[in-house]
Amino acid sequence: MKSQILSASTAAGETSFTETPDQPLKPNGAPIAALVSAGIGAFIFGLLIILSEASPHFLKPALTLSNDVGPLSGKTVFAVIAYALSWLILAASMGRRHVNERAWTYIAFALLLAGFIMTFPPFYQIFTVAP
């Protein structure tokens, strides 16, 4: 199997990596998969909040897995399931590869930011429908 190789060169204060026969590229897909999966879980959680506010007669009762907790129980459970499934899928697909860290980190933080924004009451109350 041909080994992939890495060397760093600096230009204008930025490090770029190219393949050389001296040092192999280390796989970084597994931690990036975990980071992106966390973003997916946060995004799904925020999306479920907005959808439950927009559909109080259908989705809120469907998300109520525990009467003591209310629809938050379903939102949390389904967000954790989305996180776990996306982690399994992404880790299997990119776990042993070297991926572009910068691009995947931007994607992960964009998903996290969107998920966090969707959990703030001033934002999700825009979508609230009176029961």
Report pLDDT digits (tens) over 31-85. Answer: 999 999 999 999 999 999 999 999 989 999 999 999 999 999 999 999 999 999 9
Q: In 3D, which of 71, 41, 77 has the Cα closest to residue 59?
A: 71
Residue 14 lies inside a defined structural domain of this protein: no
User: What local confidence, expressed as pLDDT, does residue 42 receive?
Assistant: 98
76, containing H or E segment: helix 71-94
Is 121 part of a structural domain of the chain? yes
Question: Which amino acid does the sequence have at 22?
Answer: D
63, 54 Cβ separation under 8 angstroms: no
Q: Has residue 18 been placed in a domain?
A: no
Tokens (6 digits) for 57: 């007669």
Question: Per the domain annotation, does 19 fall within a domain?
Answer: no
Residue 43 located in a structural domain: yes
Q: 20 φ, ψ to 5°?
A: -135, 160
Residue 5 domain-assigned (yes or no): no
The three-point CA angle 40-41-43 to 5° equals 65
Q: Is 69 helix (H, G, I), strand (E, B) or coil?
A: coil
Does 114 fall in a domain? yes
| Full-model pTM | 0.80
Q: Model confidence over 80-119: pLDDT tens digits? A: 999 999 999 999 999 999 999 999 999 999 999 999 999 9
SS3 content of the chain, % helix, strand, coil (to 5): 60, 10, 30
Model pLDDT, residue 11: 43
Count of structural domains within the chain? 1
118 within domain boundaries: yes
| Rounded Cα–Cα distance for residues 7 and 59 (Å) | 52
**Domain ranges, residue 57:** 25-127
